[in-house]
Amino acid sequence: MKTRFPVSTFIGRARFAWLIVLVATSLAAQEKTGIISGEVRDALTKQALPGANVVIVGIQRGAATNENGYFVIKNTPLGTYQLRVSYIGYQAVAQEDISVVHGRNTTVLIELMPTQIELEGATVTGGYFRKPTEHTVSYRTLSPQEIRRSPGSAEDIFRVMQSLPGVATAGGKSAQLIVRGGSPEENLTLLDNIEIYNPIHFARTGESMGIISIINPSLLREVNFLTGGFPAKYGDKMSSVFDMTMVDGNKEVHNTDINANVAGFGAMVDGPVLNNGTMVFSARRGFFDLLTSLLSRPVAPSYYDAVGKVTYDLDSKNRLSFVGFYYLDQIKREGVVSTKSSSDNGPYNYLTRDDYGTAFGVNWRYLISPNAYSLTTLSYSDNGWNTLRGTEAERDLIGEDILEKSYTLKSELTYQINPSGEIKGGVQIRYIESKQISWKPADTTRSGQIVPASSIAYLPKVVNKPSAFLQSTWKPWVQLSLTAGVRYDYFSFTSEGTVSPRLSASYQATSRTAFNMAYGKFNQTPASYQIALDPLNQQLRSSSATHFIFGVEHLLRDDLRGTVEAYYKDLSDVIVGSDTNSILYNTGSGFARGIEFSLQKKFTDGFVGTASYTYSESRRRDTPGSAEYYFEFDRPHILNLIAGLELGDNWQLGAKYQYASGNPFTPVVGVVQKNKTYYAVDGAYNSARYPAYHKLDVRLDRKFVFASWTLNVYLDLWNVYNRQNVLDYTYKVDSRGIITETPRYDFGVLPIIGMSAQF
């Protein structure tokens, strides 16, 4: 017999069910959620991969990509997640450290490699450690989250890179990169395929100083750092490539960030524009000068920067991205001794300095066919500075007016011949316009050498630098990958052409162990500031470095990788100068060699860490047969230990320990009297070393989630145990012939408090 319910009972239960639904809906509405969206593409051909499976590990949420390779996962609970992406015929990828913030959209781009290798019964997957096939050695990539949480960096991308294997720090007062014993000017910096002359505030060509990166790390999708053996597409630099790729604005909502720390404050916005485009923009202003004026102290430097990008899809095959970049650094001091002559006599108490730079351009990516695409870039960039230095009566005793402009058109084509091989080629033409005007009075060095007054007015005609490259990557068998390439560069000013062959190989011995090697020649043309010093410098040729690299990498776990890499750089035709005149010569030679050990743990279970040790040697000689000496950036021992831990309840703790041998310097060993005046006597060139550099940095983060916005606050404490690290010494000789040595120290204990509000 069937049981029947009265209508009133049914209505009552229906009302109760609706009440439950309303309560659940209300609770769901109160639950704080965010969005994850992005694209999945073929890493080689950039084709969209429709139907790719994207899963958030641990919470059983996910999505499939549409016909354009796009996916969106809405109503995602707040937290930090891993994405697992899979597609038939491609290696699965794990994208870690995806942060979901209330009311915001986190955008990712995931590129998959075709599955080709199967060893020991297990398919080799992309996992957490991925790299392009052409980058077999000396390659590291960092995500924005890895940059943000790094202790002792104040969220500065270049200071983060100073902790990588083979990279030495110039101290807390400099963000410059010293890579495998080379100088900072040997490093190539790119932002979305546009070369940037200077990416660091208060840094100048030929100097090793520079305070903070011009690029807000929140703008970056990824950073690829190649410390040697880089492929033929990169040219005109001898040591490293620093390749930054900006995020595209998200397509779902408008995000806003307001951030501030002791160095400055700024804002960033991103979101959809027009019908099928996105934008992202950041602007910052330093407030060193505001703080010092409030404290009635001498005025400190001020800086400004702005970076932006607009991306627009014309259709499924054509994508345009417009990138812009601007910075301005200013210093003005009156009545304060800011610098001294080389003899340490007669201080100059007046200084004005303006440094500025611009870069903007457009990238056009065209998907020619399912197996080929092209990338064409048209860009303009410049870098310049003006300086006046003197006394209250004569403010222009020393001056500079420097400017270099560059107009560049380049195009690259990538074609996948078959699953085992691809070919890539490109051409570039660059026009360079430069101005070098400077003057200074006669002076006397600390050793009594007279330096005559000089005046330079270098205004050459516009020169051009055409170049072309061709390279091929193929797999003779599944375990072995080979990349061979050649590059040609021409410099019209010196009528010099150079050929740079490159070769690399990777042998996948097992599913977790690979042996890698690379060989290549790298040429670097003389810079404008070098040519400008004397008319005879127009005969300068390119400096050259030949790289030999061998390494092995092993996956201890899917999220833990160990590497060992040995390198040797043979240097020839190095540009060197003299203390007696401004004429430069290509008579220098030398080498840099070393071995690097590293262990890297990805952020997968609430813990992240790296450990690296480098032993290296960098030596030079100025002329054939002359004495060999340690190069100024030689640091035999470099140790970096970094760890980060999620403490729960939105707390994070990180620590970094750095140790490095002291740089070589030329000591003062005595005095000599000339014309009744005492002068210092230098010892052998770079025959002494500064004390070892070491410090401990600790960072503590706390996230606060409110109804409609999120606040991130951090304390980054530098040099916790207050080590007095010596950066250099200055020497004075008084009228009695007594030498006074004064050390210049790096930062002591330095607390940096920062915050970021996200809407």
Q: How far apart are CA 116 and CA 730, in angstroms?
A: 60
Looking at residue 207, its pLDDT comes to 54
Give the confidence band of 115 by pLDDT, cuts at 50, 70, 90. Answer: confident
DSSP classification of residue 50: T
Q: pLDDT tens-digit profile of 137-159?
A: 999 888 777 887 788 888 888 88
- Position 289 scores a pLDDT of 67
- Cα separation, 330 vs 202, whole angstroms: 8
- What are the residue ranges spanned by the domains of the chain? 1-30, 33-115, 157-395+406-758
Residue 171 has a pLDDT of 79
For domain 33-115, give the fold.
Immunoglobulin-like (2.60.40)
Confidence of residue 129 (pLDDT cuts 50, 70, 90): confident
pLDDT for res 2: 39
pLDDT at position 74: 92
Q: Kindly tell me if the per-residue pLDDT of 51 is higher than 50.
A: yes
Confidence band of 648 (pLDDT split at 50, 70, 90): confident
Measure the CA–CA gap between 72 and 106, rounded to whole angstroms. 10
CA distance 250 to 316: 17
Q: Is the pLDDT of residue 738 over 80?
A: yes
Which is higher by pLDDT, 211 or 718? 718
Residue 10: is its pLDDT beyond 80? no
pLDDT in tens, 313-337: 999 999 999 999 999 998 887 765 4
Residue 598: CB atoms within 10 A of its CB come to 20
**Residue 217's pLDDT is what?**
84
pLDDT at 215: 86
Instruction: Give the pLDDT band of residue 261 (cuts 50, 70, 90).
Output: confident
Q: Sign of dihedral through CA atoms 61, 65, 69, 72?
A: negative
Q: Give long-range contacts, CB 8 A cutoff, 24+ apart: 264-268.
A: 264/288, 264/303, 266/216, 268/216, 268/218, 268/219
Among 54-68, 115-129, 457-471, 590-604, where is mean pLDDT lowest?
Answer: 115-129
Residue 11: is its pLDDT beyond 80?
Answer: no
Give the percent of the chain with pLDDT over 90.
57
Q: Is 251 left (phi over 0), alpha (psi -120 to 50) or beta?
A: alpha
Q: Would the pLDDT of 81 be above 70?
A: yes
Evaluate if residue 358 carries a pLDDT over 60.
Answer: yes
pTM higher than 0.85 for the full model? yes
CA distance 594 to 231: 21
Kindly report the length of the chain. 759
CATH level 3 topology of 157-395+406-758: Maltoporin; Chain A (2.40.170)
Amino acid at 593: R
pLDDT beyond 60 at 737: yes
Q: How many CB atoms lie within 10 A of CB 687?
A: 14
pLDDT tens digits, one per residue of 469-504: 999 999 998 899 999 999 999 999 999 999 999 999
At 631 the pLDDT is 95
State the Cα–Cα distance between residues 617 and 99, nearest whole angstrom. 41
Report the C-alpha gap between 286 and 298 in whole angstroms. Answer: 16
C-beta atoms surrounding 505 within 10 Å: 16
In this prediction, residue 18 has a pLDDT band, given cuts at 50, 70 and 90, of very low
Mean pLDDT of 368-377: 96
Does residue 295 carry a pLDDT above 90?
Answer: no
Give yes or no for residue 9 having a pLDDT over 80: no
Please give the pLDDT value at position 146. Answer: 81
Mean pLDDT computed over every residue of the chain: 87
The band of 116, judged by pLDDT with boundaries at 50, 70 and 90, is low
Q: How far apart are CA 756 and CA 166, in angstroms?
A: 32
Are 199 and 190 contacting, i.e. CB atoms less than 8 angstroms apart? no
Q: Say yes or no to pLDDT of 518 above 90.
A: yes
Q: What are phi and psi of 291, to 5 degrees?
A: -65, -45
**Is residue 123's pLDDT more than 80?**
no
- Backbone phi, then psi, for 362, in 5-degree steps? -130, 135
The predicted structure's pLDDT at residue 719? 95
Does the structure show a pLDDT above 80 at 278?
yes
Is the pLDDT assigned to residue 632 strictly greater than 80? yes
Nearest alpha-carbon partner for 391 in 354, 352, 347, 353: 347
Going by the DSSP 8-state scheme, the letter that residue 8 receives in this structure is H
Q: What is the pLDDT of residues 211-243, one digit of tens each?
A: 788 888 888 988 899 999 999 999 999 999 999
Residues 6+ apart with CB under 8 A from 297: none
Among 170-179, 350-359, 407-416, 590-599, which is the least confidently predicted range? 170-179
DSSP for 167-236? Answer: EE---TTB---EETT--GGGEEEEETTEE-S--BTT--TT---B-SBSS-GGGEEEEEEE-S---TT--S
The pLDDT score that the predictor gives to residue 218 is 84
Give the pLDDT confidence score for residue 291 in this predicted structure.
58
